[in-house]
Amino acid sequence: MCAAHQAALRPLAPGKPRVAFLFMVRGPIPHESVWRQFFQGHEELYSIYVHAAASNSNSHESLYPNNSIFHQRQIPSKPLSRFGISMTEAQRRLLAYALLDNTVLNSWFSLVCESSVPVRSFGYVYNYLMNSELSFVEAFFAWEWWRQGWVTTDTPQLQDHVMRKGEAWFSVHRRHAGLIVGDFFIFPKFKEHWREGGISAEIYLPTLLNIIDPLGIANRSTTYVNWTNPSTDSHPETYTRANITDELFVDIQNQRRNTQGMYVMGTRHQDCHTQDSGCIYNGVANFSCWLFARKFSGEPQDVQALLHHFTNTVVPLGFRV
């Protein structure tokens, strides 16, 4: 982490900057065919790093075959628990390895999962990130959530008013990536006091950047997710071939307000209603919000429907935008 922090402080060498795609997954990545189309023709503008919880960190064998775009892109990985500190550790580990990769010029870092897919073309995503003045981290006030995951002590380690919550799936520029891996004040408190039972990945990063650079984040993610009709209390809606339509992606692309994400859940809690859900981009209000989306089913028939949609649709969306 120290070395990665130092690497982030050094200016990038001349050349074309890249977007580092950080895949935090359980193992197989069912939407590889979709990502392959997304990346095609842009090999010098992106990097891939995979933290696969199912892999053996002591093994040098790849989970992914030779013809996979994820072959040999795994970093040393550890088991993940959704409820606990391990997801936060994986986020920081992915950022560290991407920052330490001196073979490429990683300038932006986007975290995705195995149920994520892009909803814009690579060119759109690249320009959207490279031209942004802010990192995309959602951070709304919701003290009730963080108290549920924190081990109570006689002396509060962090004050309620600094704690924030948001989607775990972020897009950050290189300076913020360096601040995250170089954090030796807030993270140790989470490491010591976070208990199994809370989702630290939805609290740590929003809280850290709210403390050290609150005006440097857009207070939203770049990943669309629908919490207005959750499949369970703790999981957003899952999309299958039954609802993978042109209309779905047109709607996602046309959204200018974060009204279906975790922010909606936050409005049920104290003071969250005071936060603006509009998507602002470099000072422009009512801008398009989303570059990626989740949660898409990984069942073969659902993956095939999604791929067919992006390769055969007559509507100008997805990779063609």
Residue 141: what pLDDT?
Answer: 78
How far apart CA 49 and CA 35 sit, in angstroms, is 13
56: exposed, middle or buried (Cβ count in 10 Å: 0-12, 13-18, 19+): exposed
Q: Residue 21's beta-bridge partner residues?
A: 48, 110
Residue 317: what pLDDT?
Answer: 47
Domain count along the chain? 1
Please list the rounded mean pLDDT of every run of 10 residues in the chain (321 residues): 95 95 93 94 96 66 86 90 84 97 97 94 95 94 60 61 87 97 91 72 90 94 84 75 89 86 53 64 93 94 88 52 42
Residue 233: what pLDDT?
Answer: 58
Residue 108: what pLDDT?
Answer: 98
Residue 158: what pLDDT?
Answer: 74
| Stated pTM of the model | 0.90
Enclosing H/E stretch for 25? strand 18-25
Instruction: Give the DSSP per-residue string, 200-239.
Output: GGGTHHHHHHHHH-GGGB-SS-SEE---SS-SBTTB-PPB
Residue 259: what pLDDT?
Answer: 78
How far apart CA 314 and CA 2 sit, in angstroms, is 49
Residue 267: what pLDDT?
Answer: 47
Domain assignment of residue 200, given as a range:
2-320
How far apart CA 118 and CA 206 sit, in angstroms, is 23
Residue 311: what pLDDT?
Answer: 76
How far apart CA 93 and CA 97 sit, in angstroms, is 6
Residue 272: what pLDDT?
Answer: 44
List alpha helices for the chain, DSSP H: 2-9, 32-39, 86-100, 122-130, 143-149, 174-181, 186-193, 204-212, 246-254, 262-266, 300-312
